[in-house]
């Protein structure tokens, strides 16, 4: 079964392997397959589910809501996000204004079939809305009981510090950040993680397998596999491009004996690696087939010794991206509509 970790300095726990439905539900797989995969996640001990209103233009939330219908609500942790354009993408259908937050949370509650959201996350930083307006709107949702905790996604160290101060002033808890993080992509380690540790904010990390590259299925000098994420522009192909260099793929192949020595598959090694970071509360995983989760959840509770961690670093070498300045390039400079 899956272990649990506290989120930030709160008393709220999430399953350290969390199910995310970014590129699968209402996009990559049929609704029937998506529902079967959510049920497989529940059977494997995953109780935390992460989505966003923008995924498949709100349809992914609806599929997740259908999949979780009939489950004991108190035994689930439901996470969603707000920021990116939704609906007809009008002038106020994006960003972190009070209006868009209010409209978005009502839609998310309806689609997810629940009367509260455990963790409501600012999907990106909104440079066009005063941060005071955003956090006042979040605080109102907490006081109304529609949201329990506040999180953010891909915020810089400075943005986390400013948001944390506002949350404290308003008497609400900013408990998490959701950045990209993997053994190949470590850009949060320089500034974001130390700041988050100081403030009592956890990381819920996405792409712990570097968009599937750390599974070893992409081979140097070979075409990408047919039907893989790298071939599907709707399924994160843009995000995977940076990892599809031969030097990176060769480095990943060098991890195979390291994983074998540790008694793990490559996917298990990749997920276990991010969970060794004490500031990481959960690794987000997706699945297009129920059986994929049986392998994934075995990474929960794995402790990698110092020799194994050193062997991972030696195998990956210069293929690892560590530049903390890249955390400043994630949030759009302007709203997208």
Phi, psi of 180 (to 5 degrees): -75, 135
Phi, psi of 18 (to 5 degrees): -110, 140
DSSP for residue 321: B
Task: Specify whether the CB–CB gap between 268 and 4 falls below 8 A.
Answer: no
- Taking CA atoms, 132 is separated from 119, 127, 142, 166, 197, in Å, by 19, 12, 15, 7, 23
Task: Specify whether the CB–CB gap between 206 and 179 falls below 8 A.
Answer: yes
Q: Give dist(CA 138, CA 83) in Å, integer.
A: 13
Q: Which one is catalytic: 4, 6, 19, 55?
A: 55
Task: Specify whether the CB–CB gap between 53 and 120 falls below 8 A.
Answer: no
Place of tokens 């793990």: 264
Q: Which residues contact 108 (CB under 8 A, 6 or more apart)?
A: 53, 61, 80, 82, 117
Pairing mode of beta strands 13-15, 4-6: antiparallel
- What the block records as the tokens of 241 is 């491009």
- What the block records as the tokens of 144 is 């109304």
Query: Does residue 55 have an active-site annotation?
Result: yes
Pairing mode of beta strands 174-177, 202-205: parallel
Phi, psi of 96 (to 5 degrees): -120, 35
Which residue numbers are catalytic? 55
């Amino acid at each position: 079964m899956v272990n649990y970790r506290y989120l930030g300095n709160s008393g709220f726990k999430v399953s350290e392997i969390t199910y995310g439905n970014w590129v699968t539900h209402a996009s990559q797989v049929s609704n029937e397959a998506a529902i079967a995969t959510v049920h497989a996640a529940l059977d494997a001990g995953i109780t935390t589910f992460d989505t966003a209103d923008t995924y498949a233009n709100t349809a992914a939330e609806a599929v997740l809501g259908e999949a979780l219908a009939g489950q004991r609500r108190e035994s689930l942790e439901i996470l969603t996000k707000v920021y990116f354009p939704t609906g007809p993408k009008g002038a106020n259908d994006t960003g972190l204004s009070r209006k868009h937050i209010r409209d978005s949370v009502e839609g998310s509650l309806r689609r997810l079939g629940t009367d509260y959201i455990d963790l409501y996350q600012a999907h990106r930083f909104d440079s066009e809305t005063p941060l005071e307006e955003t956090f006042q709107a979040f605080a109102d949702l907490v006081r109304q009981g529609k949201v329990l905790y506040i999180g953010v996604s891909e915020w810089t160290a400075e943005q986390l510090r400013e948001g944390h101060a506002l949350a404290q002033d308003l008497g609400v808890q900013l408990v998490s950040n959701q950045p990209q993080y993997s053994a190949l992509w470590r850009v949060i380690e320089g500034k974001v993680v130390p700041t988050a540790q100081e403030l009592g904010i956890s990381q819920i990390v996405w792409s712990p397998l570097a968009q599937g590259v750390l599974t070893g299925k992409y081979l140097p000098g070979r075409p990408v596999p047919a039907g893989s994420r790298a071939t599907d522009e709707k399924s994160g192909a843009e995000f995977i491009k940076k990892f599809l260099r031969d030097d990176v793929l060769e480095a990943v192949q060098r991890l195979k004996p390291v994983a074998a020595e540790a008694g793990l598959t490559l996917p298990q090694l990749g997920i276990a690696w991010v969970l060794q970071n004490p500031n990481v509360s959960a690794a987000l995983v997706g699945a297009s087939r129920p059986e994929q989760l049986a392998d994934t959840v075995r990474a929960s509770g794995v402790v990698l010794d110092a020799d194994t961690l050193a062997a991972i670093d030696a195998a990956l070498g210069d293929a690892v991206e560590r530049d903390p300045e890249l955390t400043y390039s994630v949030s759009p400079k302007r709203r997208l509509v």
